Structure 1
Amino acid sequence: MLAVENTVTILEKLAELNRAGVTDIASDLDITKGTVHNHLTTLEENGLVVRDGDQFRLGLRLFEFGEQIKNQHKIYDVGVPEVDKLAEQTGELGNILVEEHGQGIYLYRARGENALSLDTGIGSRINLHQAGLGKAILAHLPEERVDEIIDEHGLEPSTKNTLTTRDALFEDLEQIRDRGYALDMEERAVGVRCVAAPVITNDGVVRGAVSVAGPVSRLRGDYLETEVPELVKLTANVISINLSYA
């Protein structure tokens, strides 16, 4: 394994474990303790990890990088106030997702009065086919790009409702294009539904997606099929226009 790959793998393991010692990391990753120690020492010297006794955790310098990266996405600056309004209007969880390397990255979340607490936070990665936000993006990517993403990341289920065949996914993507929004019917998380719409600038490029997520008990009937979709599409449209002329 290349040195850089070792470093990335160690950082990912620390993110997973919150904090860990050299022995635990070496055992989990099947890397020698000496190699792990050397990498952690270098990371510590550069402020990327912090030592607490005989354990290490991620350092705040990574947060600094994250803030810089987030601000490089114009959809963040343009979208935050609009998604804040969306969350306030619905009382639910508002989201902005972008695609990178064939996966979805949560760029922003806004909590309405009754918003759920989910297992994905800002910076979390998901497979695009598993969520309404991701499907809203996939529906507006070239078909060959969608095929590439499926080939690379597969169609693994997140729940029993996840679309796990190309035919089912492509049929759903066609419906999303026709109606202008995507539905996530407990496809990523049991008990949670989502309405998502793509953010497409006037050059025809999909820049991301916005959504409202909430419990099945609230996102149902006309509210799910009419009211929330109209609010989400309006939000996506405003962001699209503002991005186009930013």
Structure 2
Amino acid sequence: MDDTGSQTVKSVETMFEIVDVLEEEGGAGVTQIASEIGHSKSSVHKHLATLANRRFVVQRDDEYYLGLGFFRYGSFVRNRYDVFHKAKPVVTELADETGEMVWLITEENGIGMYLYGDGGSLDINVDSLVGTWTHLHLNSGGKAILSELPADRVDEIIGQHGLPEQTDRTITDKDDLFDELETIREQGYALNLAEDMEGIHAIGVPIMYNNQVQGALSIAGAANRLTEERCHDEYADRLLTSVNDLELNLTYK
């Protein structure tokens, strides 16, 4: 424990700082990593050697890259989620039927993560987004999840992660967010109208099991195709039906 009372372990923090650099840069040498995180090259080298020994990084010439050790643990964690296994065929079916992107998102520690996705007929590499984090308030699936959480839990999430602005349409006021969550509860689905990415609309529905929100399914696409009216009039019922079937599969697994 450091002198500020933090419960973090400095050596572990350093390790994850190195991992973050390798992820952001795609690969890097000792000198570059040391410069970016503000640690000595000898310290960075020791951490890299430890990570390499456990197959979390791999060295090629003078650069280091993230290793497949992370894939092993990531796959293990994702496979623990029943909703992942049950939702996969539903995601594929919706993507085939609509031609749009379809996503399964879940929440952990107040942040959303894309667990699975299908690009539909679009030439999009969904794997680049799977496994990434997203703030819940600017995502249709994330807002759908928030709508099923107790108000005090939503307050905690806002206090921890804030309401950062992604576009000029992002909700950044807590009262406005709570008003929208009430609307979502009334209609059963959430909309994202270019709130996390310009030109993209999405509609999301929460997935419930044992009175707990397990995640959300969402359909996303270009705003000129996935108009607000089309979300309400066409995709809402289709998505609600799919989620109802998914919830039944979770109940009678």
Pair 1:87-2:95 in alignment: yes
Structure 2 CA distance for aligned equivalents of residues 213 and 36 of structure 1: 41
SS state at 2:142 partner? helix
Deviation at 1:33, TM superposition (A): 1.2
Are the structure 2 counterparts of residues 51 and 120 from structure 1 closer, same or farther at C-alpha, using a change threshold of 3 Å? closer
Residue in structure 2 matching 1:140, options 148, 157, 161 = 148
What corresponds to 1:4 in structure 2? 12
What is the identity, as a one-letter code, of the residue corresponding to 1:220? T
Contact 1:115 1:214 survives alignment (8 Å): no
SS state at 2:91 partner? helix
Structure 2 CA distance for aligned equivalents of residues 121 and 182 of structure 1: 20
What corresponds to 2:197 in structure 1? 189
Deviations 1:37-82 (A, max 9, x none): 1000000011000001111000012111111111111111000001
Deviation at 1:120, TM superposition (A): 5.7
Structure 2 CA distance for aligned equivalents of residues 118 and 82 of structure 1: 16
Structure 1 CA distance for aligned equivalents of residues 127 and 201 of structure 2: 14
In structure 2, list runs of 5 or more residues that go unmatched. Answer: 1-8
Structure 1 CA distance for aligned equivalents of residues 224 and 123 of structure 2: 13
What corresponds to 2:6 in structure 1? none
Residue in structure 1 matching 2:68, options 57, 60, 63 = 60
TM-score (norm 2): 0.93
Deviation at 1:186, TM superposition (A): 0.2
What is the identity, as a one-letter code, of the residue corresponding to 2:42? G
Deviation at 1:119, TM superposition (A): 9.7
Deviations 1:88-121 (A, max 9, x none): 1110001000001110000000121136567961
| 1:166-177 matched pairs, under 5 angstroms | 166-177=174-185
Residue in structure 2 matching 1:36, options 44, 68, 84 = 44
Deviates more, 1:230-239 or 1:141-150: 230-239
Contact 2:106 2:114 survives alignment (8 Å): yes
Deviation at 1:13, TM superposition (A): 1.5
Structure 2 CA distance for aligned equivalents of residues 99 and 207 of structure 1: 8
Are the structure 2 counterparts of residues 190 and 118 from structure 1 closer, same or farther at C-alpha, using a change threshold of 3 Å? farther
Contact 1:132 1:182 survives alignment (8 Å): yes
What is the identity, as a one-letter code, of the residue corresponding to 1:64? R
What is the identity, as a one-letter code, of the residue corresponding to 1:183? L
Residue in structure 1 matching 2:245, options 231, 238, 243 = 238
- Structure possessing the higher relative contact order (Cα contacts under 8 Å, 6 or more residues apart): 1
Are the structure 2 counterparts of residues 8 and 57 from structure 1 closer, same or farther at C-alpha, using a change threshold of 3 Å? same
Structure 1 CA distance for aligned equivalents of residues 219 and 228 of structure 2: 15
Structure 2 CA distance for aligned equivalents of residues 109 and 118 of structure 1: 6
Structure 2 CA distance for aligned equivalents of residues 164 and 115 of structure 1: 32
Residue in structure 1 matching 2:118, options 110, 115, 118 = 110
What corresponds to 2:5 in structure 1? none
What corresponds to 1:223 in structure 2? 230
Deviates more, 1:7-16 or 1:117-126: 117-126
Equivalenced residue count is 245
Pair 1:49-2:57 in alignment: yes
Structure 1 CA distance for aligned equivalents of residues 53 and 231 of structure 2: 51
**Cα RMSD (Å) of the superposition?**
1.4
In structure 1, list runs of 5 or more residues that go unmatched. Answer: none
TM-score (norm 1): 0.96
Deviates more, 1:108-117 or 1:120-129: 108-117
What corresponds to 2:28 in structure 1? 20
- Deviating beyond 4 angstroms after TM superposition, the runs of 4 or more aligned structure 1 residues are 115-120
